[in-house]
A and B are shown apart, each in its own frame.
Chain A
Amino acid sequence: MENKHMGTEVEAAAHPLAETARMFIKNKAAVLGLIVLFVIILIAIFGPIFYTTDPEDMVWMAYSPPGEEGFLFGTDYLGRDLLAQMMQGARVSILVGLSAAFMTVFIGITVGALAGFYQGIVEEILMRITEFFQVLPTLLFSMVIVALFGASLPMITIAIGAVSWTAVARITRAEFMRIRSLEYVAAARAIGAKNNRLMFRVILPNALPPIIVQAALMVGSAILFEAGLSFLNLSDPNIISWGRIIGDNRVNILDSSFAVTIPGIAIFITVLAISLVGDGLNDAFNPKLRGR
């Protein structure tokens, strides 16, 4: 049925992943997002290697505007090179974004899979816990975690992960509930697959597409989250991140409006690119929903 439009000759169905990739490439905005993201990651990895100015060094007078004295982005409130800071900040933002999203997905899939698979009392308890976490204002809660247990980078990642997994859990549960009643699952059960195998080998692969989309969006919101925390000066004082550059330079905002604007643009572009990729993935996984 899928191949009807491809002419008289019926081709063998492409691998589903190849099909998804084909759909994704057709989406111009998503491809643009992917390219932008790729460039940002390259800058984060290789930037500090080739541009060797130490982001902590005071190299020139404070608040030198962008482009002057050979400083592309100018200097910050302490006279440090903003370009070097931005590259260092890119590393932190992306690292925290990825690892927090990974944690979110890990907790979310575990909770959602158990709830959706076992149902009954297990589901009841797990979903109540999920609702409970939805009641806590995320930023305040992670502020509390960071305040009580210290502001190291791993603790910030945990704080972000601990407050944002609920969406993934809900999506996973919904998918599991839909899939677990399908025939192929019953077939796998009939040939003696154990519960763990059913959950993570039989059901999970088919539940992944919406989870992957959500995970992509989670990277974006984790980056925003980390930016918020470090803007409030609650992150590790020894680590430069985009949010921190904004927070530090706002003390003298009229002199340093560029030092506040530039990191914000970086966050904006990164999160926007991630969200375009996420939308593209969503469309590619659900070709039927396209054009809505």
Chain B
Amino acid sequence: MNEKKTSIMTKVKFTRLTFLLLFTLFAVNNPLFAQAPDGDAAAALPAGLSADPAVIAKGKEIFTGNCTSCHAVHEKVIGPALFGVWDRAPSREWIYNFVKNSTKVIKSGDPYAVKLYNEYKKTQMTSFQNYGPAEVDAVLSYINSVKPPEPPTTISTTDGGGTGTSTQADGGYTTAILTILIIVLVLILIVLGLMVNVLTKFLQDKEDLAEEDKEVVNQKSDLGKFFTSNGVIGIFIFIIVALSMKAGIDGLFTVGVQQNYQPRQPIAFSHEIHAGQYEIDCNYCHTGVRKAKSANIPSANICMNCHSAIKTESPEIAKIYKAIDFDPETGEYGENTKPIEWVRIHNLPDLAYFNHSQHVEVAKLECETCHGEIKEMEVVYQYAPLTMGWCINCHRETDVNTKGNGYYTKLVQLHKESKGGKTPMKVEDIGGLECSKCHY
């Protein structure tokens, strides 16, 4: 027992050491990487824009949260590609006003605004009353920081690549060792077999053997008798029964588990296109994900934010128009609406309470943790088993995201005091496995 522990400990220490080494390497390298683009950008920075990472991060947040449904940086979507807008627009002031209230600018008869309006199928841009010059500049700074997409061959040399290959090498190394080990063992087995064979032959040739020894040497294993012996049959029956029982019980456990459930939806909506290709933030459509128990299937009016202008001829989009009673010819809405009946994929039983906002807003989990690579799903399927064991397991393994959250300050301190600050605070440690956290 103790030996095992120490061996694990050394392993842990070893891995830590490797990590430490890797990290120092990275830390030394990083400034070199970081500085080069910095210098580049500073040279060509348009007036008023910033290269400060904080500003860019803020801009990115605003951009992904509000703009990506209609705009991309280097690509024309519903609205124009935004890169270089600071040069195209009449003035920076004009951009501020247009973001704040585009309708007002268009109505004022501003020639550039009217031109844009007509060019983009008379689609009005949503007004963002809350965003002033500071926010708009942040967004512009972010847009400026996004490099135009390059041919895929050049992508591989990004900073993530290093660690990627190292883990791969790590994996290959283990396989190689294991393969060699197996080969060596098989070789030893063959050599041993040969030796037995040679020695038996040698003994058989010998005349002066005692009776008992002869018996041993000439002994022939009777396989038939062996297999019909009660013991062997018993063991076989036991194994078969045990296996079939296990299979049966496992089978029963899958009753009601709908992992990989991929029903056909009434509208062929593709997450691959929306979340993957156009990188629309999940929160844009699933409006409740940060504030409520349910993430919400988006209502049809959210689809219409874009699809009043995009792909208006598609038969799939026509289904949305029918639901919301929209006439694409006249652009008018009627009263005769009919809700879209999506097929529910994730069916948690009623007795379990799950709250999206707890996991997404408080714990800051990625949607993909439970929903899989949604960005690659043409048709969504249930990625996780959604069983209680799966929930519990995650609560056992996951550290509580306490960073900057005043709710946990005292808890973290108490946890440190009791555990000596060694182990991180898991969800389990603060009652995450208790019944009434999910069942009431």
The finding on whether chains A and B are genuine partners in a shared complex, rather than unrelated, reads no
Using a CB–CB distance below 8 Å, which chain A residues touch chain B? none
